[in-house]
Homo-oligomer: A and B are copies of this chain.
Amino acid sequence: MGLIVAVDAGGTKTDCMVGTERGEVLARAWAGPANLQVSGPQAMRAEILAAVAKARAQLPAGDETFDVLFVGAAGVARPGDREEVSALLKETGVAGKVVVDNDAVIALAGGTLGQPGVVVIAGTGSIAFGVNARGERARAGGWGYVLGDEGSAYDIGRQALASVMRASDGRGEPTALCDAILQHFKITSPDDLVGLVYQKGLGRADIAGLAVLVAEVARKGDRVARRILRKAGTELGAAAASVVRKLGMGSEAVLCVTSGGVFRAGELVRRALVRELAKTCPACEVVEARFPPVVGAYLLGIQEAGSRITGRVVENIEDSLFRPV
C-alpha cells in the first residue's frame, strides 16, 4: 500500500506529514516559511522538499515510496501558480502524483473533512474561502499585507503599534497597549519603536506576534485593544459573508470553520465574526477547525490516491496524529 505525503506550506512554517490511505499517520516534520508571492517558487520548493526529507527520515527503512504528494501552499492564488509549483515538485520524482492547491483549500478540508463550507483563516495573513455542494469555489481577502489582509494577526499587530503612537502623541485615546508593548520589546519610550521597526528590521512575523498581547490587554478591558479585535472579527465576517453570497449559500446552514492563531487570541474576534456573518447567513454554524491544515492536505491526498474518507479513516488520524499545532 502506497503512502501519502501532505504539506502545508505557510507564511510562518512548512508543516509536513506522511500517512497511509487508511489514515495511519507515520511521520510529521516541519521546515521554514514559504509564501509563493513573497519568496518565489524556488524557495517554496526548497522548504517543501526540506520538510518532506525530514518526514521521510522518520519512516521505517523501505517505506519510502510516496503515491501522492498533496501540497497546500500560501500565495497560490491563480491557476498558473498551481501548475508552476506542481511542475517544480514533479521533476524531483518525490511522488508518483503531485497536486498543489492553495492553503485555504486544505484548511477547509481540515475543518469540514471534505464537506462543503467556508473557512476563515486568520494567521499572519487572512483569507476566506469556500466550496458549495456543486464543487464551486469562491474566495475573499487574502491579498497580503499591502493590498489587504484585514483581520490578520499582522493587521492586528500593526494597528496595535499605530495605536501606541497615536496615544503617545496625543492623536488618539490612551491605551494600556503602550505599557504592554514597551515591556514586550524591553524599551522605555514609544519613540524607540521607530528604530526597532525601520532600522532593526522588526519583521511581519514579529508584528503578527503582537496579536496575542493585544488579546491579553483586551481581556483586561482596554477599549482600544478591544476595538482592534472587534474590527478584525468584523472584517473576517465580511469576507466569509462575501464567499457565502458568491456561492449562493445564504439560506443554507453553512458550516463556517475558523482556522489560525487569531482565533486563539480570545472570544472577541470570533463573536464579531459570528455577528457580521449572521447578517448574510442567519443559519451559519461557526466552529473551530477539527484538524490543522496539514491534515486537510492529507485527507485530500487520500482522495487523490483513490480512497474514500470514511469515519474509520478520521478515527485513525485522531488516534495516530501527533499533537495538532
A residues near B, CB below 8 A? 37-38, 40, 75, 77-78, 139-141, 143-144, 146-148, 150, 158, 161-162, 164-166, 169-172, 191, 193-195, 197-199, 202, 207, 235, 238-239, 242, 245-246
Which of the residues B40, B150, B169 comes within 8 Å of A140, measured between beta carbons?
B169
Which of the residues B38, B148, B165, B242 comes within 8 Å of A198, measured between beta carbons?
B38
Judge whether A143 and B170 touch: CB under 8 Å: no
Judge whether A169 and B139 touch: CB under 8 Å: yes
Task: List residues of chain B with CB within 8 A of the CB of A150.
Answer: 162, 171
Judge whether B191 and A77 touch: CB under 8 Å: yes
Task: List residues of chain B with CB within 8 A of the CB of A207.
Answer: 146
Which of the residues B77, B141, B171 comes within 8 Å of A238, measured between beta carbons?
B171
> Complex: how many Å from CA A238 to CA B38?
35
Judge whether A193 and B242 touch: CB under 8 Å: no
> Complex: how many Å from CA A78 to CA B196?
14
Task: List residues of chain B with CB within 8 A of the CB of A140.
Answer: 169-171
> Complex: how many Å from CA A183 to CA B147?
17
**Chain B nearest Cβ from A196, distance in angstroms:** 9
Judge whether A146 and B239 touch: CB under 8 Å: no
